[in-house]
A and B are shown apart, each in its own frame.
Chain A
Amino acid sequence: MTVSDLGNGRFLVVDEHRNVIVYVVGTPGRRWAFLDGRVVREDELSPGPSVARRGRPGGQKDITAPMPATVLQVLVTPGSTVARGDTLVIIEAMKMEMPLTAPEDGVVRDVHCRPGELVQPDAVLVELE
């Protein structure tokens, strides 16, 4: 397999029987590639823990904001028992309402947001245990 840099993010990859153009852009560790409708992020090559819902030692789980958003409704309070899939918080971003759900059964340990609040990406909204 040989690779030629055609410039402007285009790479010609020549396999035994096939030529393809792969588009690549980004900075070290945060590169993106595109081939024939498929998008690959560099961090997929060596999958690590998911950023969205990091598990912590002791069986705790944080529910975090996936993006800058406004909190519309908080449906749980500390001590609430929740089942996997239950909606904990409803946020709104880019005109869309989005329910954030419990990744597994558990008890709400703490709530760190209230309706109307603007939250930043990865801010912990609800702690589960």
Chain B
Amino acid sequence: MLKRVLVANRGEIAVRIIRACRELGVESVAVYSDADAHAQHVALADRAVRLGPAAATESYLAIDRIIDAARSTQADAIHPGYGFLSENPELAEACERAGLTFVGPPWPVIARMGSKIEARSLMESAGVPVVPGEAPEDQSDAGIQDAANRVGLPALIKASAGGGGKGMRQVTTSEGLLDAIRAARREALGAFSDGTLYVERLIRDPHHVEVQILADAHGAVIHLFERECSVQRRHQKVIEETPSPFVSPSLRDRMTSAAVTAARAAGYRNAGTIEFLVEAPGAGGEAQFYFLEMNTRLQVEHPITEAVVGVDLLHAQLQVAFGTPLPWTQAALSQRGHAIEARIYAESPARGFVPQAGSLLLYREPRMPGIRVDSGFAEGDVVSVHYDPLLAKVIAHAENRDQAIRRLIAALRGFPVLGIETNVEFLIAILEHPQFQAGNVDTAFLDRQTDALAAAARGEIPGAVRAALDAHARGSSAHSVPGSAPDWDPWSSLRRGTRM
């Protein structure tokens, strides 16, 4: 087994990886920026190395500094987590040069899948359905315009290097085409230094369904079923679940075998995800699905698969990286019950989801049967402006979908996070929405319903809240310790003394 793994990430995923290492008897090395010197992942790891200032480009994105940290601590592997450098082939390549094991696929695979145009043509040649479209040789405005006209409007102009909705424009009329092409190219050049564009037919109100796959170094490729991720705002997932309430058994069979085909075609190794768009079936027809992209890393939403399939994907990742064959065969895997994940973000749903920063004055994770919370923060921690505003993920697992929804709502209603605005109330409003409860939510749902959901989350201020606020005010004036409980608590004063 690996002896010492450097975790090139922060927040909840770094904590998750460090815990998995500990379970397997593998030492962990955390890395951190100045903004994270007191972060949970730093305290939890066996060792920690400072990378640099808060700016990600000088810390979590600095490949040289991360490789140096691995060398100086004699780590034998690097786990990139998700985001940051996880899908940057240069980190994986630098690992190879430095004689380190990269916990992920070989770097040429990351590079190939990172080019949406290359990934598209590879899938097409492997017989995996792709969205009808065109990647023109002629990359001039006129060349892209011609391609869009051949594909037909409405269409999407997309960046080959794109992701997260950047460098993407929807075009419905030929008058708007030129502006959309220029805007997409400008955004792509700014974000990825690569303005290569392609055109896809617009799939109206699709479902976003992805398939988890796992491949080892001995030629085994298996899938771990699907995840429904259609609850998105501006291309960012908010709630994910498995099994998908939208996917029939026969569609599941077709999609999972296409995903395995795709992973084999890519020469894939370790954990990865094939994202598909699923178009609702026409009258009497079957639902169509199309390859969207491959994520060459562990996903944020991996815990719902772990719950329903009953496996540990982090353990599997580390074992595959070490060269161990996959511990399960496809036939041994099945879906049991239903799992839903809600992402807790420090953000303001009422003000266009503006990220929030500040201190977690009060933060109490729910504990109840069937609830898992993955987080990178604890009470008293500071959420900074420098990184992704994801605070925690709450995952509910139950016998069926209805029970999983109830369980997740109960957990969120019992998860006080105070001091920073979060989306907890917004999440509850989504889970209580009749359309979500009916299992009938496509990727356009959230953007259509945002205002109504944000309003539903607010309402009359309960009398009990007013009464408790009054009591707190009386208590703090009597004891003159602002913000603390009136009765003396050795732990809270210890925390204050040590943290600040």
Interface, chain A (partner B; CB < 8 A): 1, 3, 5, 7-11, 13, 15, 20, 22-28, 31-40, 42, 44-45, 52, 66-69, 72, 93-99
Contact = CB atoms under 8 A, between A and B. Distances in A.
B418 A32 contact: yes
Interface of B: 166, 190, 351-357, 361-362, 364, 385-389, 409, 412-419, 421-422, 424-425, 428, 459, 461-473, 475-477, 482-483, 485-487, 489, 492
B418 A94 contact: no
A22 to B, nearest CB: 4
A28 B492 CA distance: 19
A87 to B, nearest CB: 11
Nearest to B485: A7
A93 B459 CA distance: 29
Q: Which 4 A-B pairs have the closest CB atoms?
A: A22-B468, A34-B416, A37-B413, A32-B418
Given A7-B485, A26-B419, A93-B385, A1 B464 contact: yes
Contacts of A35: 462, 464-465, 468
Contacts of A69: 385
B489 A13 contact: no
B352 A98 contact: yes
Contact of A26 (B351, B361, B470): B361
Contacts of B422: 39
B388 A13 contact: no
B465 A40 contact: yes
Contact of B355 (A3, A9, A94): A94
27 contacts: A1-B464, A3-B471, A5-B471, A5-B487, A7-B489, A8-B485, A15-B463, A15-B464, A22-B465, A23-B416, A25-B483, A26-B472, A28-B473, A28-B482, A35-B465, A37-B425, A38-B425, A38-B459, A40-B461, A42-B469, A52-B351, A67-B355, A67-B356, A68-B357, A93-B355, A95-B387, A97-B166
Which of B413, B462, B468, B469 counts the most A-chain CB atoms under 10 A from its CB? B468
B471 A11 contact: yes
A29 B352 CA distance: 25
Contacts of A95: 387-388
Given A8-B492, A28-B477, A93-B385, 13 more contacts: A7-B489, A8-B489, A11-B467, A15-B464, A23-B364, A24-B468, A24-B471, A26-B418, A26-B483, A31-B469, A34-B416, A40-B465, A42-B469
Nearest to B471: A3
Nearest to A38: B425
B421 A39 contact: yes
A98 B354 contact: yes
A13 B485 contact: no
B489 A67 contact: no
Contact of B385 (A28, A31, A38, A68): A68
A13 B476 CA distance: 18
A56 to B, nearest CB: 20
Nearest to A32: B418
Contact of A34 (B418, B475, B477, B487): B418
A1 B467 contact: yes
A68 B464 CA distance: 35
B468 A33 contact: yes
Contact of B464 (A9, A10, A13, A52): A13
Contact of B357 (A27, A37, A67): A67
A45 B469 contact: yes
Given A32-B419, A37-B412, A67-B356, A22 B464 contact: yes
A98 to B, nearest CB: 6
A94 B362 contact: no
A96 B355 contact: yes
Nearest to A101: B352
A69 B482 CA distance: 30
A26 B428 CA distance: 24
Contacts of A27: 476, 482-483
B419 A44 contact: no
Contacts of B415: 37
B355 A24 contact: no
A124 to B, nearest CB: 17
B424 A39 contact: yes
A15 to B, nearest CB: 7
A107 B336 CA distance: 59
Contacts of B385: 67-69, 93-94
A13 B361 contact: no
Given A5-B485, A40-B461, A25 B354 contact: no
B489 A38 contact: no
Which of A10, A24, A68 counts the most B-chain CB atoms under 10 A from its CB? A24
Contacts of B469: 24, 31, 33, 40, 42, 45
B473 A31 contact: yes
Contacts of A26: 361, 418-419, 472, 482-483
